[in-house]
Amino acid sequence: MDVQTRENQARNHCCSSMALRKVIALCITIACLHDHVALCTEIYEDSNQPVELRVQDLLSRMTLDEKIGQMTQIERYVANFDVMKNFSIGSVLSSGGSTPNSSTTEAWQNMVDDLQAGALATRLGIPMLYGIDAIHGHNNVYGATIFPHNIGLGCTRDPDLVRRVGAATALELRATGIPYTFAPCIAVCRDPRWGRCYESFSEDTSVVRMMTDVIYGLQGNGTPGIPFVSDRSKVAACAKHYVGDGGTQRGINSNDTILSYEDLFRIHVAPYVDAIAKGVSTIMLSYSSWNGVKMHMNHRLISTLLKQELGFKGFVISDMEGIDFITDIPDANYTASVLESINAGLDMIMVPFDYEKFISTLRTLVNTGYISMQRIDDAVTRILRVKFSMGLFEHPLADRSFSPHLGSQDNRMVAREAVRKSLVLLKNGKTESRPFLPLSKNATRVLVAGTHADDVGLQCGGWTISWQGSAGSITKGTTVLDAVKAAVFTTTQVIHEASPTAEVAAKTKADFAIVVVGEQPYAEGAGDNTNLTIPDEGISTIKNVCSEVKCLVILISGRPLVVEPYLPLMEAFVAAWLPGTEGNGVTDVIFGDYDFVGSLSRTWFKSADQLPMNFGDPIYDPLFRFAFGLGMGKLPR
Ligand code: GLC
């Protein structure tokens, strides 16, 4: 396709009205007929050619500025047609909560396509790759299916289920025209005081390794070790955050992971071996350090270990402003940060705002010989390899036939199953000589209490609609209260009290109470927490209700919390983690349509003073051990 044709195609996608499009199309037709423009196809434009040949052909045609543009990822907030075209930008992202004005699939598709038009209007027409954090479903988008966060999925120990979660998430991404997600997080969280522990599948490396099967769901199955995205129902994935993000001192976000190389590899690197073998397209670096050296400038772990020894063939991307935080270089400055990070082996930089400063700094460092053209070519080769292998050159624009997948019933059924299988039953006492759970659907009166009983936002947790998440009916979903009302007989009276006093609870004369309490949403460092107690309102509700009515307590949290003092008050106790929009997955189990199958993906401590404490430690005195989980017996599992 020649430049003229491509430019016209690009402008087509910027026209605001069909009439204008028809006029331009007519002009093109006339021009082509008149000029008999020969449509030559360069090797890189020929999808029948091997990927590596297309990469080398295109690379050989690129200027330094076009190469640097491919290494530049900017936030949508600073992106537009002209920026994409004039700077040859290779990638755009939506950071947490960064959405178009309207949240319809069409608004997302138009936003992505209009920016893509700028990339296609460049001299070589290299399509840009639009990325977003779809880490538990397409969580920035109103109406998307929100799946349990990884801590809950880890409790399922079900690779097939997480593959289906990945596949559903990929479909919902494609419904908005987005072909790339910054997921899965394959952190091995070793200290639940870390604000991102819910993004980790487990404290146990072998569970995290098992869960990397989600990459097959997101990308499809390809040749082991080769970046691969099978078709337009799939997306490029991103294993993150390399490496040791979950091993920092005292769980302090972005802090220092102090370990021997052997232990770093055994605990934190191992899941990346699986991710690479499963064809993950990209790997994102961690803000954290290893033994005092920032990951964003760690040549040994990026270039030597990841690229050479482990043979990673995709591209390495920084975290947001990740190179700006390299502050431990003597007389740290931005130029030094660019120099150190690119020479360490980073391929794409999530700048994401001051792209002109990044581009000019990198151009200067190359032109003065501080960064070799060989290093630049390695980075661009990897980026183009991913773009060619996922078919982005052939299909750069949204396929609008995917629109119906956003929040589809099929996807919600997968999420409901994931909720069921992620629940962990930690206590089930006997009442009147029978186990308290399963609850009866035809009770006379049921009291549903707690701050988290009727709140989709709290069920979903962080990284939902906004970066930090929030309480309230922030998206479409089913709360636990909704689900209880749907599950019980029509003759059953469901009484809802968010924070009842003991007197109010007693007056309900309920047969039993379901108390749903937990944490407020958080993300990243905002979630770092040293005491890990249930918020006071939840504790008082447990005490007020469970002292008056036989109760099941359901904890909605991104990690284990101190619960031992209150266990004697409870007939039954269930960890539901951050289940997402499908609260009916909870009632499917507590009312006995399904049995509990979940087992703890993390050690449940008695007190935060014991931390860090992981399965296998010489001193191990948990309230509930890693992999613990009860069933109700004689029910479908
Ligand atoms: C954030 C997170 C990372 C995310 C990126 C883009 O700071 O550390 O997990 O993918 O920025 O939103």
pLDDT tens per residue across span 49-84: 999 999 999 999 999 999 999 999 999 999 999 999
> Ligand 1 pocket check: which of 173, 319, 466 to mutate, most ligand atoms within 8 Å of Cβ?
319
pLDDT in tens, 509-561: 999 999 999 999 999 999 999 999 999 999 999 999 999 999 999 999 999 99
| Cβ(182) – ligand 1 distance below 6 Å | yes
Task: Look up residue 155 and give its two tokens.
Answer: 């409790």
- DSSP class of 499: S
Report the residue count for the chain. 637
Backbone phi, psi, residue 500, to 5°? -75, 150
pLDDT in tens, 430-445: 877 899 999 999 999 9
pLDDT exceeds cutoff 90 at 44: yes
Report pTM: 0.93
The answer to whether 213 is a known catalytic residue is no
| Cβ(133) – ligand 1 distance below 6 Å | yes
pLDDT exceeds cutoff 70 at 582: yes
Alpha helices in 14-80 (DSSP H): 18-35, 51-61, 64-70
SS3 labels along 98-124: CCCCCCCHHHHHHHHHHHHHHHHCCCC
Spatial distance between the Cα atoms of 277 and 19, rounded to a whole number of angstroms: 49
Q: Which residues contact 126 (CB under 8 A, 6 or more apart)?
A: 58, 66, 70, 88, 90, 119, 384, 387, 393
| Cβ(108) – ligand 1 distance below 6 Å | no
- Report whether 513 contacts 448 (CB < 8 A): yes
Could you say which of 113, 199, 204, 319 is catalytic? 319
pLDDT value at position 16? Answer: 52
Report the pLDDT averaged over residues 415-429: 98
- Report whether 577 contacts 534 (CB < 8 A): no
Q: Where are the domains of the chain?
A: 3-392, 409-610
Which of 93, 77, 97, 83 is CA-nearest to residue 129?
93
Nearest atom, ligand 1, residue 182 CA: 10
Q: Percent of the chain having pLDDT more than 70? A: 92
- Report whether 488 contacts 443 (CB < 8 A): yes
| Cβ(411) – ligand 1 distance below 6 Å | no
Spatial distance between the Cα atoms of 93 and 319, rounded to a whole number of angstroms: 11
Could you say which of 133, 519, 524, 548 is catalytic? 524
pLDDT exceeds cutoff 60 at 460: yes
| Cβ(522) – ligand 1 distance below 6 Å | no
Report the pLDDT averaged over residues 15-42: 54
Spatial distance between the Cα atoms of 338 and 371, rounded to a whole number of angstroms: 10
Distance between Cα 591 and ligand 1 center (Å) = 38
Nearest protein CA to atom 12 of ligand 1, as residue: 95
The CATH number of 3-392 is which of 3.40.50.620, 3.40.50.2000, 3.40.640.10, 3.20.20.300? 3.20.20.300
Which of 17, 588, 83 is CA-nearest to residue 351?
83
Report the pLDDT averaged over residues 220-232: 93
Same fold for the domain at 3-392 and the one at 409-610?
A: no
pLDDT value at position 20? Answer: 56
- Report whether 441 contacts 487 (CB < 8 A): yes
425 DSSP β-pair partners: 574, 630
pLDDT exceeds cutoff 80 at 117: yes
pLDDT value at position 431? Answer: 78
> Ligand 1 pocket check: which of 76, 133, 240, 348 to mutate, most ligand atoms within 8 Å of Cβ?
133
439-579-603 Cα angle (round to 5): 90
Distance between Cα 317 and ligand 1 center (Å) = 11
448 vs 148, 416, 496, CA distance in Å?
22, 20, 5
Domain 409-610 has CATH 3.40.980.10: no
pLDDT-derived band of residue 37, with 50, 70 and 90 as boundaries? Answer: very low
Q: What is the mean pLDDT of the chain?
A: 94
| Cβ(139) – ligand 1 distance below 6 Å | no
Which of 580, 607, 568 is CA-nearest to residue 165?
580
Spatial distance between the Cα atoms of 610 and 633, rounded to a whole number of angstroms: 33
| Cβ(96) – ligand 1 distance below 6 Å | yes
> Ligand 1 pocket check: which of 74, 94, 95, 238 to mutate, most ligand atoms within 8 Å of Cβ?
95
SS3 content of the chain, % helix, strand, coil (to 5): 40, 15, 45
The answer to whether 524 is a known catalytic residue is yes
Element (H, E) at 316: strand 315-317
SS3 414: helix
